[in-house]
Structure 1
């Protein structure tokens, strides 16, 4: 096990330590099963000998003994399996929660670079595999070792020659297992990587199905799907071939060993050097020894596959920064709301997105940030939200570097509408309140009436309890945007950030939006990103970005007359808006 993976494996021990009493009880049950399984062949052999000799007077006692052992074994097995399954499910839950926390707190830049199909595989396949495989590995290894030790002693005591034959073949079977174990691990890793790409592609199809249809790409994507599916199938087939080959070679060696034991055993019985009952019991013990030894060696293969899962999870946990570590301990209380950028530079993949940005926004004002697509507007907002970290410079809230605030208290002071609004898999009411019980139904209705969406909501069969489908696909873009606005207004945060909040709104709705926003000016700081010329003109406080730099800042009319680049930009927005109206 590589050092990093071994370290991560040690980090998982606390998840298992909480179940140490359960694990101990399961281990005791397994030991009891081994002892009872050792007694069974002797009793069966004795029954056969008594039947052969027609000694029925004591036969009944052996049969009762066999039945008793079977009942106790069954009870032990049921309890053991239940405890093992329960522990595996509890540990899986704790590991998955730990991983979900890692992902949710991952630096946003790292999250964007991570394949979503791979994340799903890690959470829903690797995490359960670690819990169940680790428990199985521990219990099966200890069980097999105990069985091998006890059976070795019994077989040698029963018959030294037959015992030596069994032990002679053991290293050869071990060699086969080790040889194929490494090949299985490497092929298993290839399967996981191929499957990650496959799952990621499936996600693209599911989330982009509308675009695939309207762009006429159904045939193209079907061909790509076939290619990826065939690749997964071929990798899995190669894996199966290695497994089957290893299985065949081991079984062949086991069969040769059994034939030799059979021949030598028969000769010894014919020469009166071995009792029938001992031979019958010995064949059972040798089969169980071979099975226990094979299972122990198969654990070598299992641990190789387990290591693949551990390696992927370790890569997620170790190589990506936890977001909370980038926040300080200061509580963000009694916030005024003044934000200032101090010579901020931000680079993404070593390319500058924002370059030496400095400006200040005071509470009681609205700032409209404008610029061409890709100029750094959304990045600037993401820096305020601490989704990104400044490469150089700093951002302060009320004179304190925002990195010194703890996450929870800082983010409570900010409400956001993103450029691509996200609706949760909840009903309309919960999507607005985000399940915050401090808000009342009356407050929600008042806001939705102001936004002109209340009548639509109550016209639905279940009203505010109407379930919103994944990301609001059963609503129009304008309806989703109004619900997002309702969510923002209800929260009443000191700082409001709105990224293209009127994209899907009609003229009347935009007027409503402006009126509502104006109510918040005195006590709030509002940052607005928009390409809507009406909003830019109405709000009249503009910061114009181009290629990651501030070109100008001030009242719209003043910078329109003073800066040619801004004038060209704004006139183009107006012309585009007029063209869109004419087209519609």
Structure 2
């Protein structure tokens, strides 16, 4: 999307209110300029001794004051309302787009970039629409009216004032290039900074355990110093710009004071006219400076629009695209599946062929990097296979509505998240219609109901940040219970027992075996308890299936599996010794 079209998208929804805002701003500015002229005539009438005319013009000033402040109140309320609305709309659009990104594209975007776009770029755009544009309109109107009046009041003094315009334009153009450069760099540094902060907060416990606080602190210090350096360069550039504008304005004012005094002394100009001219010149100069200062805001706006536009250039998942929604029974068929990432085109899955019957419990094993998790990601369409077909109940998953597919397939990962909320709220998040009886039934099925009932607040107990108040086994049971409330036919598990003790792992395996009577269970695992609990075992190596059978057959016929299994046995023996 072109950035000008993108900007117009934010105008359309509130077009009428924005037009009203701009009209109100225009009228308010015109009303603010008139008193200057009236005040100049008052000075002349005072000198002439015409008190009646002075009183009339004071009444004009009172009327103008009331009108101006009425418009000003409307302008303020409209500005705040529209800025909040537009900011929230932009944020909502960014979040919705982020959720629709294909997983490969999302993995390439830094978390800090999305945070910056939400908290910074959205405000830059909304402020430009609701604050900067009205201010530009006011400045332009002020320049035009002031220019007309200063020329009308004194053509000779006006010529001196107009000399500053081309010089200011050249200065603004040159400075603007540096501002844009530092703004782009500042956004990039902010992305990196926020990503780093998020990472060390997530890994806070690990950082302390590894005793690498000093190293992380040095990296943090370097990051904030780099940002500070860029901010300083931007500030210096802005200061130079303001200094140049101020110098030009001051030189012009000094020249006009000297020449204006000469005109008054020689009776070519009245005092009231000079006062009015000087007032309008001041407004003209200030507005002209502001117009050139807006170049900075425009450069910041361009950078923000380009960044958000880059996000919207990514291809979206076809989440709501029409597709089949037939009842899913749970059979999975993989035909000649191959997959490689777009980034490096390196093959991760190679010619996978597999049939998993409904209501079964299969385990995938293999060395790290063999493609186990990638296979699960393909099954739920987080990644799309490069070649071949994946079928659920003989229907290609590409033909099934993606939302419907994910409502019937649950994917539980090793680091599945629990929210800092009550147990009940965590359990019902996948199915808001879950009744209390259904929640209790699911918890009984996974053997955690009695634990919950022993808590002071039972199902209304807070579980803490990512379930910190629960044991590893309790977290796993709670996550499985949450999945059951969604009632999927296919359940995918990725190393969910890797951090559990042996007894907890055995309990979870028993739960999964029971669930496989009515659900298709496919699990990535590497520990013996998980492997032996499965009906069949899929052995992967370098993206290919090198074995597929029961444990007893694989231990005799598959060298890869035998090696993996014996390594597990050796590790256990060494720990015992």
Same fold (TM over 0.5): yes
1:251 to 1:515, Cα distance in 2 relative to 1, 3 A: same
What secondary structure, in the 3-state scheme, does the structure 2 residue paired with 1:412 have? helix
Aligned equivalent of 1:341: 334
C-alpha separation in 1, matches of 2:127 and 2:453: 48
Q: 1:123 aligns with which of 95, 118, 125?
A: 118
Partner residue of 2:371?
Answer: 376
Alignment partner for residue 492 of structure 1, among 487, 496, 512? 487
**Do the aligned partners of 1:450 and 1:512 also contact (CA within 8 Å) in 2?**
no
Between the aligned partners of 2:434 and 2:569, the Cα distance in structure 1 is 40
Q: Distance in 1 between matches of 2:181 and 2:113?
A: 18
Q: Report if the CA contact (8 A) 1:328-1:404 is conserved.
A: no
Query: Unmatched 5+ residue regions in structure 1?
Result: none
Aligned to 1:259: 254
| 1:134 correspondence with 2:124 | no
Per-residue deviation, 1:35: 1.8
Q: Give 1:440-455 correspondences, 5 Å limit.
A: 440-455=435-450
- Measure, in 1, the Cα distance between the counterparts of 2:443 and 2:65: 69
Give the C-alpha shift of residue 435 in structure 1: 6.0
Q: Distance in 2 between matches of 1:195 and 1:423?
A: 29
Residue 14 of structure 1 and its aligned partner are, at CA, apart by: 3.0
| CA-CA distance at 1:306 after TM superposition | 0.9
Number of residue-to-residue matches in the alignment: 575
Q: Distance in 2 between matches of 1:48 and 1:475?
A: 81
1:314-367 per-residue CA deviation (whole Å, 9 max, x = no partner) reads 11111x221127x85213221122211111111132222111111111112121
1:62 aligned to 2:57? Answer: yes
2:176 matches 1:214: no
After superposition, the CA RMSD in angstroms is 2.0
> 1:97 Cα deviation (Å)?
1.2
Q: Aligned residue for 1:22? A: 17
What is the match of residue 315 of structure 1?
Answer: 310
- Quote the offset at 1:54 in angstroms: 5.0
Matched, 1:296 2:317: no
Q: Say yes or no: does 1:41 pair with 2:39.
A: no
* SS of alignment partner, residue 57 of structure 2: helix
Range with bigger deviation, 455-464 or 523-532: 455-464
Equivalent residue, structure 2, for 1:165? 160
1:421–1:480 Cα contact (<8 Å) kept? no
Q: Displacement, 1:461?
A: 4.2
User: Could you report, residue by residue, the CA deviation over 1:158-183 in whole angstroms, capped at 9, with x for unpaired residues?
Assistant: 11111222122211111111110111
Determine whether 1:552 maps to 2:554.
Answer: no
Matched residues in 2 for 1:468 and 1:142: separation?
54
Question: How far, CA to CA, are the matches of 1:295 and 1:472 in structure 2?
Answer: 53
Bigger mean CA deviation after superposition, 289-298 or 440-449: 440-449
Offset at residue 34 of structure 1 (A): 2.2
> How much does 1:119 deviate?
1.5
User: CA 1:461–1:435 in structure 2 vs 1: closer, same or farther (change >3 Å)?
Assistant: farther
Q: Map residues 59-98 of structure 1 onto 2, 5 A cutoff.
A: 59-98=54-93
Moved more, 76-85 or 131-140: 131-140
* Residue of structure 1 in register with 2:470 after alignment: 475
Structure 1 residue 236, shift from structure 2 partner? 0.6
1:513 to 498, 508, 518: 508
Q: Normalising by the residue count of structure 1, what TM-score does the alignment of the two structures yield? A: 0.94
Provide the C-alpha distance between the structure 1 equivalents of 2:275 and 2:3, rounded to a whole number of angstroms: 48
Deviation of 1:95 (Å): 1.5
- Whether the aligned pair in 2 keeps the contact of 1:481 and 1:501 (CA below 8 Å) is yes
Residues 510-549 of structure 1 mapped to structure 2, 5 A cutoff: 510-549=505-544
SS of the counterpart of 1:421?
coil
User: 1:119 & 1:407 partners in 2: Cα distance?
Assistant: 24
Structure 1 Cα separation of the partners of residues 522 and 312 of structure 2: 35
Alignment CA distance shift 1:464-1:12 (3 Å): farther
State how far apart, in whole Å, the 1-side matches of 2:462 and 2:291 are. 52
Greater shift, 125-134 or 452-461, is seen at 452-461
Secondary structure at the counterpart of residue 68 of structure 1: helix
In structure 2, the CA distance between the partners of 1:90 and 1:244, relative to structure 1 (3 Å rule), is same
User: Taking structure 1 as reference, are residues 461 and 60 closer, same or farther at Cα in structure 2, changes over 3 Å only?
Assistant: farther
Are 2:282 and 1:287 equivalent residues in the alignment? yes
Q: Secondary structure at the match of 2:415?
A: coil
> When the two structures are superposed, what TM-score results if normalisation uses the length of structure 2?
0.95
Counterpart for residue 111 of structure 1: 106
Task: Indicate how the Cα distance of structure 1 residues 453 and 506 shifts in structure 2: closer, same or farther if over 3 A, else same.
Answer: farther
Corresponding residue for 2:394? 399
1:536-567 residue CA offsets vs partner (Å, 9 max, x unmatched): 22223111001111111011111111122211
Of 217, 220, 225, the match for 2:220: 225
Instruction: Decide whether the 8 Å contact of 2:525 with 2:531 is kept in 1.
Output: yes
Does the aligned pair in 2 maintain the 1:191–1:235 contact within 8 Å? Answer: yes
Superposed, 1:350-389 pairs within 5 Å as: 350-389=345-384
Deviates more, 1:337-346 or 1:69-78: 69-78
Cα distance, 1:152 vs structure 2: 1.5
1:392 Cα deviation from its structure 2 partner: 1.8
Query: Residues of 2 paired with 1:252 and 1:553: CA distance?
Result: 82
| Contact 1:331–1:410 (8 Å) recurs in 2 | no
